[in-house]
A and B are shown apart, each in its own frame.
Chain A
Amino acid sequence: MAETTRPRPDGPAPDARGAPARLERFAPVERWLHWANATLIAVVVATAAILYVGPLSVAVGRRALVRTIHVYVGLTLPLPWLIGFLGRWRGPLLDDARRINRWSADDKRWFLTRGRGRGVRLGKFNPGQKLNAAFTVGAIVVMLATGSIMHWFKPFPVDWRTGATFVHDWTAIFLFVAITGHVGIALSDPEALRAMLRGSVSAEWARRHRPRWHDEVVGADLPHEVGRG
Chain B
Amino acid sequence: MPIERSSPVGRRVFLGMLGLGAAGIVWGSKAQDAMEKLFAPITAKDGTGLSSLLPVGRFRIYSVTGDLPSRSTTAYSLKVGGHVDSPYTLSFAELTAMPSLQLTKDFQCVTGWRVHDVKWTGVRLGDLLDKAGTKPGARGVVFTSFDGEYTESLTLEQARRSDVIVAYDMEGHVISSDHGGPVRLYVAPMYGYKSCKWLDSIQVTDTPPPSGYWEVRGYDADAWVGKSNGRDDTPTA
Contact = CB atoms under 8 A, between A and B. Distances in A.
A161 B13 CA distance: 25
A100 B8 CA distance: 9
B9 A101 contact: yes
A131 B13 contact: yes
Contact of A166 (B1, B6, B55, B68): B55
A130 B67 contact: no
A163 B66 contact: no
B222 interface: no
A102 B1 contact: yes
Contact of A167 (B7, B25, B113): B25
A72 interface: no
A171 B66 CA distance: 28
Nearest to A98: B1
A170 B55 contact: yes
Nearest to B33: A162
Interface string A161-190: 111111101110100000000000000000
Contact of A163 (B24, B67, B113): B24
A35 interface: no
Contacts of A58: 61, 63, 68, 178
A6 interface: no
Given A165-B112, A170-B55, A154 B230 contact: yes
A158 interface: yes
Interface in A133-176: 133-135, 137-139, 141-142, 145-146, 149-150, 153-154, 158-167, 169-171, 173
B4 A166 contact: no
Contacts, number: 155
Chain B interface size band reads 35 or more
B25 A146 contact: yes
Interface string B44-79: 000000001111001111111111100000000000
Interface string A78-99: 0000000000000000000001
A142 B13 CA distance: 13
A145 B21 contact: yes
B21 A102 contact: no
Contacts of B6: 102-105, 107
Nearest to A176: B53
A19 to B, nearest CB: 20
Interface of A: 1, 51-54, 57-64, 99-105, 107, 123-124, 127, 130-131, 133-135, 137-139, 141-142, 145-146, 149-150, 153-154, 158-167, 169-171, 173, 212, 216
